Chains A and B, each alone.
Chain A
């Protein structure tokens, strides 16, 4: 009885506020826009059968005819993929160095990585506006040391979006990789070196495979949210930056076309199902390995 209660409360909560809302989005994505409020038809008041018979794939067909949406999906995937790669390139050496640092430093280093993670996301993105703008600190610095003679345009370009994603998601990459490297038994690397591996080869053949779960978890933790990112492309990107999170937000709040916004969300969700399922598998495997 108690057990049933314990299971039911969080279960029902998540069903009502996580799963059912998706069903609502799916239903609205099949509806037509109306000028009344809420701006879509039909509603359940029209009767279930009536409601079902009026649903169609018009909005999805509309998405395929307007190539803005396709370009936005492709460019979101591209930006998310490359920024995940860059984050891995910055994050892995840091996680590795942290795991190799003297024991007494590690809690401090870990805290230094976690601190930005707790700091407001919005503020950390905002910090880059002042750095990357035309008369910003980066340009001032580069002009001062004489590397460039005219200010670079970085803000409002895709470069700024990449910098923003790498910066804000870096702790998500470092923490799981550090956790995996921290558990790694150092004698395995010594054994590989004793058996004639060069240090680089030992790293490639032993360290990388043994930290694989951390790398996978880190990459998914960056890639999946980056794909639907809204704040970074709106604040750092320009009018040429096409990202689906931004389009969805604008479609909803500026154009007030809820059915099309819902259809955009449904397709984004379909794209995300594969990485989300892979991420969960990886998490479960890791949880089982720890038991």
Chain B
């Protein structure tokens, strides 16, 4: 089918307008000169300036960035291990429980996860701060990483690994030299997913952080509860811009690597 039927065209247009107009309004009004956010009063970058000179926001951004980098890195390692165990581990005691614990956090309401972790940390007498947020974020995002990586592992041609083992590689070498390069795109997108989830999380961070650590979403939350503010519009625009650039760059990169793989395959076919 080369053409969209009119019904399909209408539903796509309506759907994308619905998805994008709210964000577009946010971006446009971040350049509004007026403090009143729904009245246009000319172009200005005033709110970006105020945002960048706001110490509290910068501190929160720094905390958030640290938490996101550390927790997503741990989550990637643990999630990849979990995916490998689920897809390749065969049967072992507690496998059903294990896969249940991988899938349940994906849909678990954040209030429950947050509350339960907080009560655990308090029970253990841990001081709440950056460390506890990192532990909490690692736990829920490793499950997302594991789902992304295991979907790649299931479509993976296992004979490649077996060939490496037959040729004398140790299981670890086979993993490092064969499996890891092949699943690398999934591992990277798992890391990115964990990173954005951590960057974005409000509820779990509110439960597990103490007075010493305020993350950016917590800071945004405390100011949007009072209504719309142009500074938050500016901050949102920056975040939307970063995500857009990231997603487009990732899609271009994956297109390039797909093209390269195709070229390699063709070259290999010619060589035969």
Which of B15, B23, B112, B135 is in CB contact (< 8 Å) with A94?
B15
A-binding segment of B45-53, B176-184, B218-226, B259-267:
B218-226
A102 touches B3 (CB 8 A): yes
A249 to B4, CA, bound (A): 46
Flag A114-140 by CB within 8 Å of B: 1 or 0 each.
Answer: 111011111110111111010111001
Q: Which one of A47-55, A62-70, A208-216, A225-233 contacts B? A: A225-233
Write the residues of chain A forming the contact surface with B, with a CB cutoff of 8 angstroms. Answer: 2-3, 6-7, 9-11, 13-15, 17-22, 24-25, 28, 38, 44, 90-91, 93-94, 96-98, 100-102, 107, 109, 111-116, 118-124, 126-131, 133, 135-137, 140, 167, 170, 186, 220-221, 224-225, 227-231, 234-235, 245, 248-249, 252-253, 258, 261-262, 265, 268-269, 272, 276, 279-280, 283-284, 287, 290-291
Q: Given A122-B217, A230-B203, A265-B111, 4 other A-B contacts at CB below 8 A?
A: A14-B98, A90-B18, A127-B23, A231-B203
Pair A130/B220 contact, Cβ less than 8 Å:
no
Contacts of A276 in B (CB 8 A): 103-104, 107-108
B residues engaging A (CB < 8 A)? 1-5, 7-9, 11-12, 15-16, 18-20, 22-23, 25-26, 29, 37-38, 78-79, 81-82, 84-85, 89, 92, 94, 98-105, 107-112, 115-117, 119-120, 122-123, 135-136, 138-139, 142, 146, 154-155, 171-172, 196, 199-200, 202-203, 206-207, 217, 220-221, 224-225, 227-228, 232, 236, 239-240, 243-244, 246-248, 251, 255
Q: Which of A24, A101, A115 contacts B123 (CB 8 A)?
A: A24
Cα distance A101–B16 in the bound complex, in angstroms: 14
Chain B residues near A279 (CB, 8 Å)?
A: 103, 107
Asked if residues B236 and A228 are in contact (CB atoms below 8 Å), the reply is no
Within 8 Å CB of B23, what residues of A?
Answer: 116, 119, 123-124, 127
30 contacts between A and B (CB under 8 A): A10-B146, A18-B104, A21-B120, A24-B116, A38-B123, A91-B15, A97-B9, A100-B8, A101-B8, A102-B3, A102-B4, A112-B19, A115-B247, A118-B246, A120-B199, A122-B217, A124-B22, A126-B232, A126-B236, A127-B236, A131-B25, A137-B38, A167-B22, A186-B1, A224-B107, A228-B108, A230-B109, A248-B112, A262-B115, A290-B155
| B131 nearest CB across to chain A (Å) | 13
Residue numbers in B under 8 Å from A109 (CB-CB): 12
User: Quick check: B200 and A7 within 8 Å, CB to CB?
Assistant: no
Rounded to whole angstroms, the CA-CA distance of A135 and B40 in the bound complex is: 13
* Alpha-carbon separation in the docked complex, A126 to B240 (Å): 13
Question: Nearest chain-B residue to A92 (Cβ)?
Answer: B11
Alpha-carbon gap, A114 to B250, bound state (A): 12
B247 touches A130 (CB 8 A): no
Residue of A17, A28, A135, A167 near B18 (CB, 8 A) is A167
